[in-house]
Amino acid sequence: MKIVKAERIACRLPLRQPFETSYGRLTEKAFDLLVLTDQDGTVGVGELVAFQQPDYIEETLASAREAISKFLFPLLTGNIDHPRDVWTLFQTVQGNFMAKSAVETAIWDLYGRQKHCSLTSFYPTTRDKLAVGVSVGIQASTEQLVAQVADYVAQGYQRVKIKIKPGVDLEPLAAVRETFPELLLMADANGAYEDQPEKILALDELGLAMIEQPLKIRDLVGHRRLQKQLKTPLCLDEDIRTAEDVAVVASLDSCRAINLKIPRVGGITEAMRIVSACQHYGLDVWLGGMFESGVGRALNLQFASQAPFHFPGDLSASDRYFYDDIVTEPAKIKNGCLQVPVGVGAGFTLDEEKIAAYCVSRTRLLG
Ligand code: OSB
Ligand code: MG
């Protein structure tokens, strides 16, 4: 294939509830759809999920847009035989993972549509529905948190992740644990405990499935030290960008699990390398989220249908995040599961009316 046309559709979807983490508060999700067309008129779409602030990782929507138009598109001028080749082409650009992922996943989607098959046909064994979890932001009070968790449990979510920060940790988590003794429960600190790791040790008796990224990015030795003192497995999120990072954290014993997000690692090809590395080193791997719209969610559901993803991911129904979505069939929860989309490519169909309603700007980038 040869990419002859590219358009960026900037969108905003308001969130049903603000999402609070140890580093900030999100009230709407701004994202771009990257629409690529090849010489035969086949279209592929990728989602740029970067946030407006560099508070989760270093990339932003603005930095990723610049990386895409200035550095990544110029690498796509030739013929592309297979989407795997994009990974190789992009090796000359350092970092900029979410930018790379937006382009690479659009090319995978285009490739699947051109071959009239679902991207699941490029993955090893797959499931048709997935047990899913939900990530709950920091709430105003413990009562509100317990009520929120009860609501999600009633909706069928099979695993609950709770955002924590110093001072909003042991008490709310213990209250949830007391109300739901059997719940598959975990916590995510987004790196907030660098100066007080002892507060993480205090969570060790709650029977948590894991604790995600307690210490700051790159403190792999600190994570190793903490893991040694804990029964609860640690999980790394922000720290894992490549399969080589998996080799490092496995060798150090910094964690026992990886939260894999396709955009954080630069796309599907690197995500596959990471799954293989996790299997090689015996680390658990599960699929995380970035408040994706229906486009990124369909891609995530297809990817997470692979056998190694047995632990329910941050793959929630569209209505957990948004009032409305920009695809014709937003993900819905049924018996605690989401269906893996079966359509061609990444399995979504854009809803043009909804895109017109939530689009902020359209920019022709190529052609
Ligand atoms: O740390 O996993 C995280 C959302 C945005 C940025 C970082 C994280 C998250 C989540 C929610 O925890 C994931 C989701 O449900 O999409
Ligand atoms: Mg996380």
CA–CA distances in Å: residue 100 to residues 347, 350, 358, 362:
20, 21, 24, 20
Our answer to whether residue 354 is catalytic in this structure is no
pLDDT per residue, tens digit, the chain (367 aa), is: 999 999 999 999 999 999 999 999 999 999 999 999 999 999 999 999 999 999 999 999 999 999 999 999 999 999 999 999 999 999 999 999 999 999 999 999 999 999 999 999 999 878 999 999 999 999 999 999 999 999 999 999 999 999 999 999 999 999 999 999 999 999 999 999 999 999 999 999 999 999 999 999 999 999 999 999 999 999 999 999 999 999 999 999 999 999 999 999 999 999 999 999 999 999 999 999 999 999 999 999 999 999 999 999 999 999 999 999 999 999 999 999 999 999 999 999 999 999 999 999 999 999 9
To the nearest whole percent, how much of the chain has pLDDT over 90?
A: 99
Q: Say which of 100, 163, 199, 354 is annotated catalytic.
A: 163
Taking CB atoms and a 6 Å cutoff, what residues make up the pocket around ligand 1?
56, 135, 188, 190, 237, 288-291, 314, 316
Active site residue 261: yes
> Which amino acid is residue 287, in one-letter code?
L
CB-based contact 214:234 (threshold 8 Å): yes
Please give the number of the atom of ligand 1 that sits closest to the Cα of 213: 1
Closest-lying ligand 1 atom to the alpha carbon of residue 190? 1
CA 102/CA 149 separation, integer angstroms: 32
Q: How far is the CA of 38 from the centre of ligand 1 (A)?
A: 33
Our CA dihedral for 272, 53, 257, 22, rounded to 10 degrees, sits at: -170
The pLDDT assigned to 217 comes to: 98
Query: One of 29, 100, 161, 261 is an active-site residue; which one?
Result: 261
Number of the ligand 1 atom closest to the C-alpha atom of 134: 15
Q: Which ligand ends up closest to the CA of 211?
A: 2
Per-chain mean pLDDT for the chain: 97
Which residue minimizes the CA distance to atom 9 of ligand 1? 290
Q: Give the integer Cα–Cα distance in Å for 86 and 266.
A: 10
Whether residue 228 contacts residue 256, with contact meaning beta carbons closer than 8 Å, is answered with no
pLDDT reported for residue 296:
98
The alpha carbon of 58 and the centre of ligand 1 are apart by a number of angstroms equal to 15
What pTM did the predictor assign?
0.98
Domains within the chain, CATH numbers bracketed:
3-117+351-366 (3.30.390.10), 121-339 (3.20.20.120)
pLDDT at 126: 84
